Amino acid sequence: MRIAPRSLATRVAVATALCIVAASACVALTSQFIADRMARTREDTTLIDAAETFALELRVAGADPAEVSADETRELAHAAISVAIYDAHGWLAGDKALSRVDPGTCRDVGALRICARPARALVAVAARDQRALNGQLRLILIASALAALLTSIGGALGAGAIARIVTGPLERLRSAVERVPERDPQSAELGTAAGLAEVDALRVTLQTTFDRLGAALSQSRRFASDAAHELRTPLATLIGELELTSEQLGPESDHGIAHALRLARRMSTLVDRLLILARLDELRDRERLEVRELVEEAIDTIVPALRGRCVIDSDQQSDLAAVDGDRALLVATFVNALENALKFSEDEVRVQLRGLGDRVRVSIIDRGPGVDEAERESVFAAFYRTTASRAGMVPGHGIGLALIAHVMSLHGGSARFADRQAGAQLDLVFPGATRAE
């Protein structure tokens, strides 16, 4: 199972929230520890003072231990403190439930905290039940835990806001990069400086990269355009000479000339397509065009021997579908799509027109070998040829589909091969026309 990568904002939020949770837990534990130590110390101080006062009264000459014990019990009753007196032989007076501890020490005995002080030959003991104190400490622990929980929740919510603020400049830069035109990266507008050294350095680096990429693309386009343009004239001359030679030699010597003429025409078609790809950056002239009319014009452009294999499948609604675009480019797109389908299939090629709300879909369906799913994205790259075309020795240069994808992109549409059990289905989807007839 592949785990989706988390965004930087999520990472910052999670890290901040974990830090807040850890800090809250540490504060809660530290507070609880300090509160417990302070309460225990205060309790020991109270019991030691009570035992010391008790011992002082026992040190008075002629003091009766029983009377002193009774008086002290009455005086300390409001504080829930019990007292007892021990001599060398054992309990002498006071609360028999109290145990003897060494003079000058405090010790827990069951639920009691007992402190003792010497009084001549006697030991004065003061004790108090710790269950009430332990209950108070548990309440403090619960309060500390609740405070830590609320702090963690609030911190986690705040961490999300903090993360969005921290990663905001990066998110804005990412959005700006996404808007960079793929055919004109030099026109990239990456926004103003964010005032953050790292983000601003990244912005400068990206801008420099886009400038260099744009310059390289412009240079390659100029080269391809100039090369294609220079090749058109000699190719046209060559085709004309071959046609003239074919007429002069006659049918008996026409086989080799016809083959050379076919090769020259294929080369001329390739040069024309390269010229379109190299020169075309944007649509300058758009007009409302009926899709069926464009498809019919494309079919009429195909050589007569192949036209009969092209069938248009449409309904009354799709016959009225229209798009805004360049007629010549769209006709060339349909011609390329149809020729590609006819090349791979010896059977009928069906052109299906469908209206999809505010969009129009033109599907070219053939009964050929189809396009493998793994190659459906690659086939739209220039000069890429499928495994089936190479294996079947089907002639071609890998330019037609690249031109189709480029023209579709210029018209705000898309080109993709759909799933099909047999054959291939190329779907060309356009935005519908926005202007009224």
CATH code for position 348: 3.30.565.10
Q: Dihedral sign for Cα 28, 34, 37, 40, please.
A: negative
Given 278, 313, 345, which residue is the final one in a domain? 278
- Per residue of the chain (437 residues), what is the pLDDT tens digit? 444 456 666 777 777 778 888 888 888 888 889 988 999 999 999 999 999 998 998 888 788 888 988 998 999 989 999 999 998 888 999 998 899 999 999 999 999 999 999 988 899 999 999 998 888 889 988 988 888 888 888 877 887 777 777 778 888 888 888 877 766 777 777 777 777 788 788 888 888 888 888 787 777 667 666 666 666 677 777 777 777 777 766 665 566 677 677 777 667 766 666 666 665 555 566 788 888 898 898 888 888 888 888 888 888 777 788 888 888 788 888 888 888 888 888 888 888 898 877 888 999 998 888 887 778 787 887 666 666 665 554 555 567 788 888 888 888 888 888 888 888 889 999 888 775 54
Q: Do residue 233 and residue 326 come from a single domain?
A: no
- How are beta strands 322-325 and 359-366 bridged, if at all? unpaired
Q: What is the domain range of residue 332?
A: 284-431
Q: Do residue 326 and residue 364 come from a single domain?
A: yes
Structural contact between residues 28 and 145, judged by C-beta atoms closer than 8 angstroms: yes
Instruction: Specify if 153 maps to a domain.
Output: no
Q: Do residue 225 and residue 125 come from a single domain?
A: no
Q: Dihedral sign for Cα 100, 103, 109, 112, please.
A: positive
Q: Do residue 324 and residue 383 come from a single domain?
A: yes
Per-residue CA distances from 304 to 85, 308, 309 (Å): 127, 8, 10
Instruction: Specify if 381 maps to a domain.
Output: yes
Q: Do residue 319 and residue 268 come from a single domain?
A: no
Structural contact between residues 292 and 373, judged by C-beta atoms closer than 8 angstroms: no
User: What was the pLDDT predicted at 3?
Assistant: 43
Q: Do residue 261 and residue 294 come from a single domain?
A: no
Instruction: Specify if 400 maps to a domain.
Output: yes
Instruction: Specify if 155 maps to a domain.
Output: no
Instruction: Specify if 166 maps to a domain.
Output: no
Given 218, 243, 278, which residue is the final one in a domain? 278
User: Which residues have C-beta within 8 Å of that of residue 24, sequence separation ≥ 6?
Assistant: 147, 148, 149, 151, 152, 155
Instruction: Specify if 150 maps to a domain.
Output: no
432 secondary structure, DSSP code: P
Q: What is the dihedral of CA 25, 27, 29, 33, to 10 degrees?
A: 180
Q: Do residue 291 and residue 273 come from a single domain?
A: no
Instruction: Specify if 146 maps to a domain.
Output: no
Tell me how many domains the chain contains.
3
Given 278, 311, 327, which residue is the final one in a domain? 278
Q: Do residue 329 and residue 427 come from a single domain?
A: yes
Q: Do residue 349 and residue 268 come from a single domain?
A: no
Structural contact between residues 120 and 35, judged by C-beta atoms closer than 8 angstroms: no
User: What was the pLDDT predicted at 180?
Assistant: 78
Q: Do residue 239 and residue 294 come from a single domain?
A: no
Kind plus residue range of the DSSP H or E element containing 310: strand 310-313
Q: Do residue 352 and residue 414 come from a single domain?
A: yes
Q: Do residue 227 and residue 260 come from a single domain?
A: yes
Instruction: Specify if 160 maps to a domain.
Output: no
Residue 38 region by backbone torsions, left for phi larger than 0, else alpha for psi between -120 and 50, else beta: alpha
